[in-house]
Structures are given as structure tokens and as C-alpha cells.
Copies of this chain bind each other. A is one copy, B any other.
Amino acid sequence: MPLRIAILGAGRIGQVHARAVASVPGAELVAMAEPFTEVAEQMRAQYGCDIREIEEIAASSDIDAVIICTPTDTHADLIEKFTEAGKAVFCEKPIDLDLERVRNCLAKVEAAGGDLMVGFNRRFDPDFMALKAAIDEGKIGDVEMITLTSRDPAPPPNDYIARSGGIFRDMTIHDFDVARWLLGEEVTSVYAAASVLTDPEIGNLGDFDSVNVILTTASGKQCTINNARRASYGYDQRIEVHGSTGSVTAHNQHEANIEIADRFGYHRPPLLNFFMSRYVAAYANEIAAFVQALAEGTAMPTTGRDGLKALELAETALKSVQTGKAMQPGE
């Protein structure tokens, strides 16, 4: 029997997950919860799913799992509610902007023996998976230094920035998770430099738009993260891992794989410009991994603890900016 899924929230990311669920064999989109009637109707028409209230979903016996795509400040409450209701839970990052609240929530999930997966889509990108596989197969020896480059095509709206918890919790958090995934060792020191270079309004909101971070581990491995809220040429998403016997790089993805030569030179199209087109396969793989782990009774591929650790690094990075010092996570 397929896993019967409900999606809470049909905003941008909710729609991404609806499309992902529809494409995954073994998963069935039974219901969505969405307060905006027009959007809800569109989802019903497109996916043939029910539209139900959140409470109703929690009580539904024909729902095995939920995907939480509501605003961040509702995540922790919903995780607890649906864990209590005996549903498996997939929650978009972050669980909460407050570390204490996250720890509380995870303790409850653990106590209840619930299944919780936190959405870090990049781990499921086919190119990044191939890069990870190359490392695991020993193609580059021991991992020594990692370079992560993540640049958005353009900043989000300012009201999003205001509610985002800041660039480290909102954007760099993905890189913190990728760093932990690839370093294979916990981070012991975080230094971050942060500037406002693309839009002064972002600075007025107390946030930054351009950051570089250096993470180090106990054994001396290092990872640098470069983030910018603006990249004219598209959604820049690269990983380079330098090891003792080689390096492996995941390159960017262009709108098309063509090249034009003329008297000005050689020209390739810009990068895929949006996380939904860039990571369409990643989102589908992510849900497939969730479904498969539940079906096989294996551990969640990305856990609440992963969400917690990435958030801790974000908090530590912010403290580093404030103090001008490298900080230990938890310091």
C-alpha cells in the first residue's frame, strides 16, 4: 500500500512537495491543508487530493504522514501535534528559530518514538549525491578542505527577510548541513564575516547579504562557505571537496547545455534561476527517501538532530560576527 500523505500549507514550498509526492511511486497525496481557498482549489484540481483542515488531518485515519510547509513559527507545534497523532512527519527546515524550542520539540518526538525527517533537499540532489559517492568510494582520499558556494539570483522580499531569522538561519543553514554531511565530523569552531553589499535595506533590517564562513573540526578539517543574496547569472550552487589524493567538484546547472560562439566569444546560457527548477530532482528524491525509510523501517535520512545542529551553527556564526572571534558551537 502506498504511503498516504497530507501536505500542510500549499505555498511555494508546499507546491514543490506536492509535485514531488505525485512523482514518487509508493506515495499518494491524499490531502492538503491550505487557508487560501483559491490556492486550495487549484491544488485539488491539479492533484485530485482532498482539502482538509489541519485538525481534521491529524484525526484522519487515511493519512500516514504529513509534510509541514507552513510558516516557520508553526513548525514545532505541528511536529508535536502530528507526532502525538501517530503520523510520520516531514518538516521543512528550520524546526524553529529558537534553539531551546527545537530541543524541546525533539525531546517530545523522541519520547513519543515518532518519525521525523527535516528537509535538507541538497543532500538529495543527484550531482551532490554523486559527489558524496565519489568521496565515500575513496576517490579523493581523506576529506581535508571543503568550499561551498551558494548564491541566490536575487534577495527575497524585505518582509521575508524580516521574518527569516537572518541569513545564517535562513540561507547558510543549508550549507551548514551540507558541511556536516561532507566533513563527516562535527564542527568545533565557526568564524563568520558578514557585510551588506547588495541592498542597504537588508542592513536596515539588521541582516546581511554577503557572508563568508570558516568551519573547522577537531582534526583540523576546514570548510569555507560563501553566500551572497545576489548573483546576476542565476542560482549559483557549487561544492568543491579537496582531499588527500584528489578533489571533487559539483558544477552548476545551466538553463540549457548549449554554447554560442560569435565575434565576442563563447557564450553559455545563465544558470537555472530558481530553487524549484534547480532542485526539482532533489525534492523528488528527498520525498522518495522519506517514503522508503518509512516503508523499510530504517532511520530517517535527515533527522531532527541534523536540523538542530545546522541551526546551532547558524547561531554560532551570528555570534562570531558580533564578537569578531571564532566561536565554538554552544559557546
Contacts and interface: CB of A to CB of B under 8 A. Distances in A.
A290 interface: no
A228 interface: yes
A257 to B, nearest CB: 5
Contacts of A149: 147
A269 B262 CA distance: 10
B270 A268 contact: no
Q: How many copies does the complex hold?
A: 4
Nearest to A259: B249
Given A130-B255, A224-B224, A261-B246, A193 B326 contact: yes
A256 interface: yes
A147 B238 CA distance: 13
Contact of A250 (B216, B257, B263): B257
A220 interface: yes
A198 B196 CA distance: 36
Between A127, A249, A251, A256, the greatest number of chain B beta carbons within 10 A of the residue's beta carbon is seen for: A256
Contact of A197 (B221, B230, B253, B256): B221
A236 to B, nearest CB: 8
A261 B261 CA distance: 15
A263 B226 contact: no
A16 interface: no
Contact of A144 (B210, B222, B247): B210
Contact of A216 (B189, B195, B244): B195
A2 B123 CA distance: 37
A268 B134 CA distance: 11
Question: Chain A interface residue count: which class?
Answer: 35 or more
Contact of A248 (B216, B224, B247, B260): B260
A139 B269 CA distance: 13
Interface centre among A46, A189, A191, A253, by most chain B C-beta atoms within 10 angstroms, is A191
A258 B228 contact: no
A122 to B, nearest CB: 14
Interface string A217-257: 00011101010101111000000001011111111111111
Contacts of A126: 256
A182 interface: no
Contacts of A134: 258, 260
A221 B264 CA distance: 24
Contact of A220 (B196, B224, B244, B268): B196
A131 B196 CA distance: 25
A262 B191 contact: no
14 contacts: A130-B256, A134-B260, A142-B197, A191-B191, A191-B193, A193-B222, A198-B244, A210-B222, A231-B247, A232-B245, A233-B262, A233-B265, A245-B263, A265-B270
Interface of A: 25, 46, 126-127, 130-131, 134, 139-140, 142, 144-145, 147, 149, 151, 189, 191, 193, 195-198, 210, 212, 214, 216, 220-222, 224, 226, 228, 230-233, 242, 244-270, 324-326
